[in-house]
Structure 1
């Protein structure tokens, strides 16, 4: 344990001394533009003929970012952007020349998707800290994409309400954009200085050009933004919006139908210019997409993607340290049932109902980010049936529960940060409570070439007893140049458990990690990009000390000048492993043989109508007949700029794998099994225009497991034949999902969604079923058919006030052309 305390001491020392670190980075020339304030706003129609544009300052002299970093943009693609502002927001008018405007690529997509498109990109940073920015992108087809970018990590789940229009012209295309202050975050100052970069994608040659030059040799893209001056004495309107919704569901499951009507409200309130309250009242997540469920035979639960908008949008502060897994809130009940004689569980709820939730987030003018999240879930019961008396009762499986997160994130030195995170779950009565706390340091040197990281976290769980666990890490990475390296040490104690509000799988280990990478910084020969990396991992169990695994890994990635991508890799464990998790019992382990794993992949040019992705993998163990083969093929075809098809098939064959089966008579039973898995998916999108789309998504997952032999695990990690074990564990599992969704963004921030969903799941204790019999069994299983309609409408407080004549902010209605202070004609 002395090593733990030494590492923790190092972490706290780095945290405590980090504030004395230089607050300046190397002087990198930053482009600057000073913009004027206007009194009459332009019409957002993609035509720059309004009076304000005639005298607006121009941002120009764009420079290529990729693939040829640092080359000036050719005159044939000259790009000029005019920028102005008023009390409502900031306006951009971009003229993007193209010598062949009839060839401008403008594939229609749903909102927040970009495919084969030219686009114009704005990166705004109200705090000018080069760390957290907002992205606003409009494609040549008029489709909007927005996201939050934090230290190079993009969160596309954020959806702002802003306005844009595009026009194809005789010498290129034009993008006109208005971004309200309500969507931005900036300090409460009379004089503002914002970070700004702008980028253009010229899709035909897949080149990108930025206004403020970017050095691809080091750092993140967002570190190289320029600056906007001139924004002064802005009288921003009240940042308050409502999004009421109504929804209706007609559900049929196993011949039983029900009709459900819901109504609720999402609220956003700007507490000040920097902090925002997001609240959801009477939530409704019935139209969330299905999970890609699998047959999980591993020692750990499956971690699924979050599909609920409230938990994905604007949560970048709350994901610091990976202590927050939002699927815990309203997820599977934490309790179990106690059955009496002749009782069976008639219904066990799959989820817990969320009563309400809110989050407050923002950043002070001293660059301190503050995030508060809170959610409450209701009491949830299982239905118990007595088969003898035919009476029913309910048993509590999840009490009234409160989930809370507090985050403090201090940025300094231009591109460094230190963060404090606390998560807390309190359940009513004597049920389990939990708390987790972490500190995280991310430090980059003045030259932007070295990145130092350190962290420490502790977990406390109170159930029948109290348990405390901890984890820690420290690392260094070279982040510039062609040759890059990193080294890291991290550990977790056996009682580290954040699974009440986070996700932790492997525990009780110490790991040493090393990395070396080489990359092209400029195109060479027939390649635009080359990236090679080598990785070493050495892991031991902490209590009691035991070798776990030594692993070598190599990866490669190549992109040709014709934009074909390919690569591959190799992994091996030359000394085998002692798996401390698969036995599912503390202090036990199973010895697994050495293996080598080889994979290759190929991806064709997505600019073509037909594109193809292929992945092949072969894994061979140092054991007779034990291997793993996977073949994944994903063709895609663009029928037109409106209609496209995607197909995927994934075949996985795992022969003679050995894994946990059961605990019986104080013995740990393992089995040797063959497992075959087939996953087919089909997606079709028809995009009517940049506001309306029809999307079909289908997925069928099939997995068959057949056991040939059983063993008893020995205390030395070996397996002893157990011919007396006769229980059947053969399995055939199917999961079938269909989503047919019509979406219409009928007004800014407002959406109508009509959805049909079909879901079937079955699992039978049998293998070797024929193809036809498998589908016969599948369609005989109970299935869910659901039709639903949901309408949400975005209401801005200032617009409501103007309708009622109670404030001076003018109506945004496009029908008020120039008679009002503001006129926006395009919408989403």
Structure 2
């Protein structure tokens, strides 16, 4: 290890020691409410006329959070929340006054969507640690939204099973909510102390009010939780649920039609009060959202979003440290076939089948989070054809493989943690194996004014040989007040490689970064908020040492009191850049001239029926004719509270850019090229009610590349014109996707989805293709037409077991309409 890396680790250690000593004994005052146990449950219908609500304690005294932070809520908007509990769960009855109830905004969305809506928000933390909470939101249209929140970061992929109803009346609106204990994690103690905060948003004035005051000047939202007392002698029920599914696909591609039937199941089991096992048996991801494919000319692979539900829900522990890129599981094969003379690849699979996967995650009473993830993928073969004999054979390109992650995350204080993450991939036989390990520190003083952070990772890969790489960094940030600053240092060695289960692109660098930001904490003049920030980044290559880049960046954003948003910025690289990645060869680089970049954006008021976003971004290089222009236009039109239209057009025009083209013996060929890209997308949503929706998503991506001359890369990074390279590298790529999806949440946690999908793509070795011919080329290609139906049904063990037990007149099962379920004390829950 060289001196600079030792310095980094010493810097990290000193930060750790200093920050621990810097912990301050000051604490944030916490609002409190003590709630009673009830013996007869209220009917969840949005009308608070049940006897249990008459003398229930009231959480009141809401305070404005945005935009006028700290201002008491006016009497005309008085908000009172009654809270009670029983053996099955906790109940909330929120009464929200509004002097103009006919103007309450109540746009319908799909579940887990908030549109132009008033809403009521509950944040529950069963461990009262101010770090990880569960969100339960119901809009004035009756739509449910739920999520996990960790230190202010929201994961909306989590879906709970809870019950709500709303009513709009002459005084405003009412939200009535029941949250079963099965959805809340809490310690196995006789006396519970939970964290709680609640919020109300009044959309037409864009104001938000919280029960426990949140100081926008410092810290994360979760540290301002109030507390619930009074919950005693309750038990988390057996947390065991099954979600069986059946699906059928009728796929037509290139004149061939096939019908596929699938069936499988997801399982969720509460190992104890804190830990949960999630398992997927016989997976089916055929209805996942399509990828936004692009023509990639860069030195790195495209990192796509994860769209498979199992890999998006409940992964907050596994994403610690960014060592986990879930698309690796079931992604491209790791091997490539060896071809003999006259052989060519007939079919190379684009993905690997997943056999099964599970994850176990939870947190102990001592705030130690533990996560274990494991997945197994199937053997995968490429088909190879001999062009002379027409014989075909198969060759293994991905063996049986096991993917594993272990996470230990110890939290302490109000907002601090130390974490350990290990990822591992073991493949059968002589295929590639890999391991990556990371240590992470994130410390915030108790005043929530300063944050200190450090990380260190190591990667090991065994393929034809072994290699070991490292990554690390440390920094500090002032996170309170109008003026905020931060500084950090990061490095990666050239052999750092986590690409078997993670994503690492650029390596072999050291980076020094600084930040200064200024913001309004309260509205001022005609502005509701203002944010300005300045950033400096200085990069060098580690081995061998070489200047890489120096970037200055300025950003601004403003929101007026009429809710118009606008902003812009400026960026420059005054000394140019030595690009160490574009040559795709170690220890080589290409010189890139300095540039400046200016941009601006504008957003209209989203409360209006017609709204729009506009962005203009222009790069100008210190080289004749070289530049890049980005234009984006995104109108949104709300036809009604049920029907919405979204259009987005993105145009990128790049002139005289220079990039890698080819290798010819030891020569690295670059090309000067013009590139034009147009991306059009359209989305239409028609929401029948809060359980049923029709969604149309369309995307057309077009990109053309035209080369004017070619160069050979010199050892000093300069480009020398190469008149002998005469390959035709021009290209035009089109990608077309249509999804028409009907979704019906026909029971809690249960869904029917009918999907029609049309997809095609074309790649031609030509540029400047006219509009008509371009679409002729596209539609001449084989099309995928797919119609699929998938039905999944949520089964809770506590409900299922009563189907086979003794029947009696005093107990019926279920939370569906007109059903009742009895608690141990004889209370019932009625759901309208």
How high is the TM-score relative to the length of structure 1? 0.98
Deviations 1:775-819 (A, max 9, x none): 000000111110000000000000011222269996224455568
1:804-815 aligned within 5 A? 804-805=804-805, 811-814=813-816
Change in CA separation of 1:628 and 1:316 when aligned onto 2, cut-off 3 Å: same
SS of alignment partner, residue 11 of structure 1:
helix
1:563-582 aligned within 5 A? 563-582=563-582
Structure 2 Cα separation of the partners of residues 177 and 325 of structure 1: 36
Structure 1 Cα separation of the partners of residues 313 and 641 of structure 2: 29
1:485-504 aligned within 5 A? 485-504=485-504
Corresponding residue number in structure 1 for 2:695: 695
Change in CA separation of 1:288 and 1:25 when aligned onto 2, cut-off 3 Å: farther
Structure 2 Cα separation of the partners of residues 74 and 25 of structure 1: 34
Deviations 1:163-192 (A, max 9, x none): 111111111111011111111111121111
C-alpha displacement of 1:560? 0.1
Segment of structure 1 superposing worse, 773-782 or 42-51: 42-51
Corresponding residue number in structure 2 for 1:73: 73
Corresponding residue number in structure 2 for 1:465: 465
Indicate conservation of the 8 Å contact 1:25/1:448, yes or no. no
SS of alignment partner, residue 111 of structure 1:
coil
Change in CA separation of 1:182 and 1:20 when aligned onto 2, cut-off 3 Å: farther
Corresponding residue number in structure 2 for 1:624: 624
Corresponding residue number in structure 2 for 1:11: 12
Deviations 1:486-530 (A, max 9, x none): 000000000000000000011000000000000000000000000
C-alpha displacement of 1:469? 0.4
1:689-768 aligned within 5 A? 689-768=689-768
Corresponding residue number in structure 2 for 1:100: 100
Structure 2 Cα separation of the partners of residues 727 and 326 of structure 1: 38
Change in CA separation of 1:677 and 1:819 when aligned onto 2, cut-off 3 Å: closer
Change in CA separation of 1:18 and 1:87 when aligned onto 2, cut-off 3 Å: farther
C-alpha displacement of 1:585? 0.3
Corresponding residue number in structure 2 for 1:479: 479
Structure 1 Cα separation of the partners of residues 213 and 828 of structure 2: 34
Deviations 1:644-694 (A, max 9, x none): 101111111000000000011210000000000000011100000000000
C-alpha displacement of 1:346? 1.2
Structure 1 Cα separation of the partners of residues 209 and 773 of structure 2: 57
SS of alignment partner, residue 204 of structure 1:
helix
Indicate conservation of the 8 Å contact 1:14/1:441, yes or no. no
Indicate conservation of the 8 Å contact 1:816/1:823, yes or no. no
| 1:300 equivalent in alignment to 2:300 | yes
Structure 2 Cα separation of the partners of residues 532 and 17 of structure 1: 29
Structure 1 Cα separation of the partners of residues 782 and 820 of structure 2: 59
Corresponding residue number in structure 2 for 1:662: 662
Segment of structure 1 superposing worse, 676-685 or 814-823: 814-823
Corresponding residue number in structure 2 for 1:645: 645
Change in CA separation of 1:672 and 1:190 when aligned onto 2, cut-off 3 Å: same
C-alpha displacement of 1:9? 3.8
State which of 821, 825, 828 in structure 1 corresponds to 2:831. Answer: 825
Change in CA separation of 1:819 and 1:297 when aligned onto 2, cut-off 3 Å: closer
SS of alignment partner, residue 740 of structure 2:
strand
Structure 2 Cα separation of the partners of residues 18 and 516 of structure 1: 21
Corresponding residue number in structure 2 for 1:325: 325
Indicate conservation of the 8 Å contact 2:60/2:211, yes or no. yes
Indicate conservation of the 8 Å contact 1:514/1:536, yes or no. yes
Indicate conservation of the 8 Å contact 1:248/1:790, yes or no. yes
Corresponding residue number in structure 1 for 2:266: 266
Structure 2 Cα separation of the partners of residues 613 and 678 of structure 1: 17
Indicate conservation of the 8 Å contact 2:19/2:452, yes or no. no
| 1:394 equivalent in alignment to 2:394 | yes
C-alpha displacement of 1:42? 1.2
Where structure 2 has 5 or more consecutive residues not aligned to the other structure, the ranges are none
| 1:309 equivalent in alignment to 2:309 | yes
Corresponding residue number in structure 2 for 1:2: 3
Segment of structure 1 superposing worse, 516-525 or 159-168: 159-168
Change in CA separation of 1:824 and 1:586 when aligned onto 2, cut-off 3 Å: farther
C-alpha displacement of 1:637? 0.5
C-alpha displacement of 1:20? 7.0
C-alpha displacement of 1:113? 0.8
SS of alignment partner, residue 437 of structure 1:
strand
Structure 1 Cα separation of the partners of residues 290 and 373 of structure 2: 25
1:124-203 aligned within 5 A? 124-203=124-203
Corresponding residue number in structure 1 for 2:26: 26
Deviations 1:758-784 (A, max 9, x none): 111111110011100000000001111
C-alpha displacement of 1:16? 7.5
Corresponding residue number in structure 2 for 1:246: 246
Corresponding residue number in structure 2 for 1:788: 788
Indicate conservation of the 8 Å contact 2:813/2:819, yes or no. no
Segment of structure 1 superposing worse, 561-570 or 384-393: 384-393
Change in CA separation of 1:248 and 1:132 when aligned onto 2, cut-off 3 Å: same
Structure 2 Cα separation of the partners of residues 369 and 724 of structure 1: 61
Change in CA separation of 1:166 and 1:791 when aligned onto 2, cut-off 3 Å: same
Structure 2 Cα separation of the partners of residues 508 and 267 of structure 1: 43
Structure 1 Cα separation of the partners of residues 437 and 821 of structure 2: 55
Indicate conservation of the 8 Å contact 2:12/2:474, yes or no. yes
Change in CA separation of 1:747 and 1:815 when aligned onto 2, cut-off 3 Å: closer
C-alpha displacement of 1:140? 0.2
Structure 1 Cα separation of the partners of residues 716 and 796 of structure 2: 67
C-alpha displacement of 1:17? 8.1
SS of alignment partner, residue 615 of structure 2:
strand
1:14-93 aligned within 5 A? 22=23, 26-93=26-93
Change in CA separation of 1:647 and 1:824 when aligned onto 2, cut-off 3 Å: farther
Corresponding residue number in structure 1 for 2:535: 535
Structure 1 Cα separation of the partners of residues 351 and 304 of structure 2: 14
1:605-616 aligned within 5 A? 605-616=605-616
Structure 1 Cα separation of the partners of residues 780 and 57 of structure 2: 68
Structure 2 Cα separation of the partners of residues 671 and 799 of structure 1: 66
C-alpha displacement of 1:343? 1.5
C-alpha displacement of 1:387? 2.0
1:491-530 aligned within 5 A? 491-530=491-530
Across the aligned residues of Structure 1 and Structure 2, the Cα RMSD in angstroms comes to: 1.4
Change in CA separation of 1:817 and 1:381 when aligned onto 2, cut-off 3 Å: closer
Structure 1 Cα separation of the partners of residues 273 and 372 of structure 2: 17
Corresponding residue number in structure 2 for 1:234: 234
Indicate conservation of the 8 Å contact 2:597/2:618, yes or no. yes
Deviations 1:259-313 (A, max 9, x none): 0000000000001111000000000000001100000100000000000000000
Deviations 1:607-646 (A, max 9, x none): 0000010000110000000000011000010000000101
SS of alignment partner, residue 608 of structure 1:
coil
How high is the TM-score relative to the length of structure 2? 0.98
Corresponding residue number in structure 1 for 2:417: 417
SS of alignment partner, residue 8 of structure 1:
helix
Corresponding residue number in structure 1 for 2:777: 777
SS of alignment partner, residue 235 of structure 1:
coil
Change in CA separation of 1:25 and 1:603 when aligned onto 2, cut-off 3 Å: farther
Segment of structure 1 superposing worse, 274-283 or 39-48: 39-48
Structure 2 Cα separation of the partners of residues 206 and 270 of structure 1: 39
Corresponding residue number in structure 2 for 1:451: 451
Corresponding residue number in structure 2 for 1:595: 595
Structure 2 Cα separation of the partners of residues 478 and 21 of structure 1: 13
